């Protein structure tokens, strides 16, 4: 299968290796993006294999549908609706899938397309929606949100210490006229942020925070993880690549808790073999992009990949 690609897929080989592709297996790529991971999975699948690819971005879905492959089913849907997507695709949820891959966050084409409003490098409409067919834009939210709500979003999702000052400037500015472009917002943020790390634009944290909030990225991730564990077959792999410490914290905690046996009182008269078994097994340690990959693709520097395998529950 050949799909055009405008960006470099992060941890491509490592992620697909971690899935341990079975030629006749069934897999889910929860974030198709520009098709890098999906293409690699299809290259390893046999004629009876199946791949369900999901994406919230209509541009990504349109790209995926340009090259038909009978083994590939593409759906314009958030991965937070994984279970329902499997049912719609005709995949038996009870039978399960062999692997789920989630590449979290914004893709390079989304950042590089100024009209999407994700980046302060372009003066464009302040949109920031991954799914441009629904929901509230960043401009609309900033027009109605109060100082406290804006402060909390920028502080919690952007870890920005000048969040309150930025929020006050936003509310004051919109009193004169609405903020409608990325350039207007970036200039306002730069005026409010007094100091910043060398080489880092003062608007970086605020734009990141608004993108996470507008797309409910952390909530979406929290919803999909338990669904992925449920729909995996015994021995199936869950592979997650995150690009932000808040995302990685959610993934790390979920996998760690799933790999820990249920805690029972030591006073209970149970043998070790009778103790409840964990649902997951952690596979290796958290993996980051190599120095060579980061040199070729600087956006890979913050990537963290975690892998877990579903264990079988012992029969009662």
Binding residues: 35-37, 55, 79, 103, 110
Tokens of 115: 């009209």
d(CA 238, CA 306): 8
Residue-level length of the chain: 316
Residues at the annotated binding site for S-adenosyl-L-methionine? Answer: 35-37, 55, 79, 103, 110
Q: What is the dihedral of CA 17, 215, 210, 159, to 10 degrees?
A: -50
- On whether the CB atoms of residues 100 and 231 are closer than 8 A, the answer is yes
Q: Can you spell out the DSSP letters for 83-100? A: HHHHHHTT--TTT-EEEE
Helices (H), the chain: 12-19, 36-44, 58-64, 82-88, 108-112, 138-144, 147-158, 163-174, 182-192, 204-214, 217-231, 245-258, 291-296
Under 8 Å CB-to-CB from 131, ≥6 apart: which residues? Answer: 56, 57, 58, 76, 78, 215
């Amino acid at each position: 299968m050949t799909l055009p690609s405008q960006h470099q897929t992060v941890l491509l080989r490592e992620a697909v290796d971690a899935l341990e592709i079975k030629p006749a297996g069934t897999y889910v790529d929860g974030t198709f993006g520009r098709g890098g991971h999906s293409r690699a999975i299809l290259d390893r699948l046999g004629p009876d294999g199946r791949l369900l690819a999901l994406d919230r971005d209509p541009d990504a879905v349109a790209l995926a549908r340009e090259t038909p492959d009978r083994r590939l089913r593409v759906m314009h849907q958030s991965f937070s609706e994984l279970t329902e997507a499997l049912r719609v695709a005709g995949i038996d949820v009870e039978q399960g899938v062999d692997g789920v891959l989630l590449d979290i966050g914004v893709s390079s084409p989304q950042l590089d397309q100024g009209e999407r409003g994700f980046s302060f490098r372009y003066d464009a409409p302040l949109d920031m929606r991954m799914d441009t067919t629904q929901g509230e834009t960043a401009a609309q939210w900033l027009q109605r949100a109060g100082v406290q709500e804006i402060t909390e979003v920028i502080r919690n999702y952007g870890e920005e210490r000048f969040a309150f000052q930025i929020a006050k400037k936003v509310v004051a500015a919109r009193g004169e006229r609405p903020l409608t472009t990325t350039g207007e917002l970036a200039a306002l943020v730069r005026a409010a942020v007094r100091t910043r790390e060398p080489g880092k634009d003062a608007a970086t944290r605020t734009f990141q925070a608004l993108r996470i909030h507008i797309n409910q990225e952390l909530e979406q991730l929290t919803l999909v993880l338990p669904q992925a564990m449920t729909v995996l077959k015994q021995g199936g792999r869950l592979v997650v690549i995150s690009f932000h410490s808040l995302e990685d914290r959610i993934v790390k905690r979920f996998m760690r808790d799933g790999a820990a046996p249920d805690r029972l009182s030591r006073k209970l008269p149970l043998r070790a073999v009778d103790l409840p078994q964990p649902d997951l097994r952690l596979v290796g340690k958290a993996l980051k992009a190599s120095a060579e990959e980061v040199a070729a693709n600087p956006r890979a520097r913050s990537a963290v990949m975690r892998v877990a395998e579903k264990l079988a529950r012992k029969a009662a």
